[in-house]
């Protein structure tokens, strides 16, 4: 089952900051890594991602750096700043708490139960 746009919007900052916590990345790399790590369940168009990246830059959560690739081509790499790490820690805790509450309401005590109930199979995507 595809993830709705509203759910995605609420989690994009969390996911992008999580990826940037691992290493500096450029836009296309971020979108590809999101899709790869989610097993294809989460895709984000670069055009939708850039306004979020710019907003996070304005907040001082991330910074950017242009790197020359080859003779003429440049890539913009995004870097997680200390303020961004603090913010990531905060929103990660909030998100995990929210997920735990939702799973309790759904009466799912651990993620393996999702697969047992057939709610997270490839056929349902």
The confidence score (pLDDT) of residue 114 equals 64
Domain count across the chain: 1
The confidence score (pLDDT) of residue 123 equals 45
Q: What's the pTM?
A: 0.78
Contact 16, 52 (CB under 8 A): yes
Q: Residue 13: which of 103, 94, 74 has the closest Cα?
A: 94
Residue range(s) defining the domain that contains residue 23: 5-124
Helix (H, G, I), strand (E, B) or coil at 24: coil
Q: 12: which 2 tokens?
A: 């994009």
The confidence score (pLDDT) of residue 112 equals 67
Q: 31: which 2 tokens?
A: 């979108």
The confidence score (pLDDT) of residue 125 equals 38
Element (H, E) at 80: strand 73-80
Measured distance CA(12)–CA(53) in Å, rounded: 10
CATH of the domain at 33: 1.10.10.10
Res. 100: pLDDT tops 70: yes
Res. 29: pLDDT tops 50: yes
Res. 6: pLDDT tops 60: no
């Amino acid at each position: 089952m595809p993830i709705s746009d509203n759910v995605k919007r609420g989690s994009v900052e969390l996911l992008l900051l999580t990826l940037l916590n691992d290493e500096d990345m450029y836009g296309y790399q971020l979108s590809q890594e999101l899709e790869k790590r989610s097993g294809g369940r989460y895709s984000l168009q670069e055009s939708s991602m850039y306004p979020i990246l710019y907003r996070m830059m304005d907040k001082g959560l991330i910074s950017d750096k242009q790197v020359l690739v080859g003779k003429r081509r440049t890539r913009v790499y995004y870097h997680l700043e200390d303020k961004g790490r603090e913010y990531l820690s905060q929103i990660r805790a909030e998100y995990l708490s929210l997920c735990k509450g939702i799973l309790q309401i759904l009466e799912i005590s651990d993620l393996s139960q999702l697969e047992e109930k057939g709610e997270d199979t490839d056929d349902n995507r």
